[in-house]
Amino acid sequence: VCPAGADLISLPEKHLVLLRDGRTLIGYLRSIDQFANLVLHQTVERIHVGKKYGDIPRGIFVVRGENVVLLGEIDLEKESDTPLQQVSIEEILEEQRVEQQAKQESEKLKVQALKERGLSIPRADTLDEY
């Protein structure tokens, strides 16, 4: 078993990395070390909103290991059959903005409601949230 190395053979396999801040990166994993620091090549940041997603090409990424949540290999054959629909970057960013806004609104309402009841949920500022 070679957990780290098997993916770095000559036929490049795309990898998907989920970061702690919620970003999803897809690229060719070029290097890894014991801390899970990653070097990703031809990376694309994929934003998912609902059933749509959009890819933003980012180039080369060097990710510090502590920010990695999970790393997985993409099955190139399965990659194509996805129910998700790819849209343009502008569109997906717009969607994301809308989603964030809606989330913030609901969050605000929640906090308000709790406040009325005299309760308060501590803001998880230091924790990872997305």
Partner 1 sequence: MCPDGDACVARGGGSEPERGPRGASLAVGVSAPLTMFRYQSLEDCPPDEDEDAFQTLGEEDEDIDQFNDDTFGAGAIDDDWQEAHERLAELEDKPATARELEDGTVSDEMDLLGHHEENLAERLSKLVIDNELEDPAIMQAVQTQPSMLQPGGLNSSIWDGSAVLRRIRGPLLTQEMPAVSVLEYALPQKPSQTQEDERDLSERALPRRSSSPVIGSPPVRAVPIGTPPKQGAMANFNQQILCPKPVHIRAPMQQRYPAPYGERMSPNQLCNVPNSSLLGHPFPPSVTPVFTHLQRAQLLGGAQAGRMSPSQFARVSGLVGSPLASMNPKLLQGRVGQMVSPASGFRAFFGGPPPSAPTPSQQQHPPCPGSHLQNLRPHSQMFRPDTTHLHPQHRRLLHQRQQQNRNQHRSLNGWGGDRGGHRTCHQEQLRKDPYANLMLQREKDWVSKIQMMQLQSTDPYLDDFYYQNYFQKLEKVSAAEEMHGDGPKKERTKLITPQVAKLEHAYKPVQFEGSLGKLTVSSVNNPRKMIDAVVTSRSEDDETTEKQVRDKRRQTLVTIEKTYSLLLDVEDYERRYLLSLEGQRPTLMEERKQKICDMYDNLRGKMPGQERLSDDHFVQIMCIRKGKRMVARILPFLSPEQATDILMATARNLPFLIKKDAQDEVLPCLLRPFSLVLYHLPSETVTSLLQQLANLPQSATVPAPANLHLAAVLQNKFGLSLLYLVLSRGEELQSSHDATELMQDNQWTELMFTATRELLRIPQAALAKPVSTPSNLLSLFSRYVDQQKLNVLETKLQLVQGIR
Q: By CB under 8 A, name the one of 23, 30, 48, 52 that touches partner 1.
A: 30
Q: In what order do the strands lie in the sheet with 52-63?
A: 68-73, 14-19, 24-32, 38-49, 52-63, 85-87
Task: Tell me which residues in 63-122 interact with partner 1 (CB under 8 A).
Answer: none
* Residues touching partner 1, count (CB under 8 A): 27
Q: By CB under 8 A, name the one of 16, 44, 71, 92 that touches partner 1.
A: 44
Per the DSSP assignment, residues forming a β-bridge with 45 are: 25, 56
58 near partner 1, rule: CB under 8 A: yes
Q: Which two tokens stand for residue 23?
A: 């970003």
Q: Which is nearer to partner 1, 89 or 102 (CB)?
A: 89
43 near partner 1, rule: CB under 8 A: yes
42 near partner 1, rule: CB under 8 A: yes
Q: Which two tokens stand for residue 98?
A: 């809308």
Decide: 33 and 82 in contact? Cβ < 8 Å. Answer: no
Cα three-residue angle 11-16-18, rounded to 5 degrees: 155
Applying CB under 8 A, which residues contact partner 1?
Answer: 1-5, 8-12, 27-28, 30-34, 39, 41-44, 55, 57-60
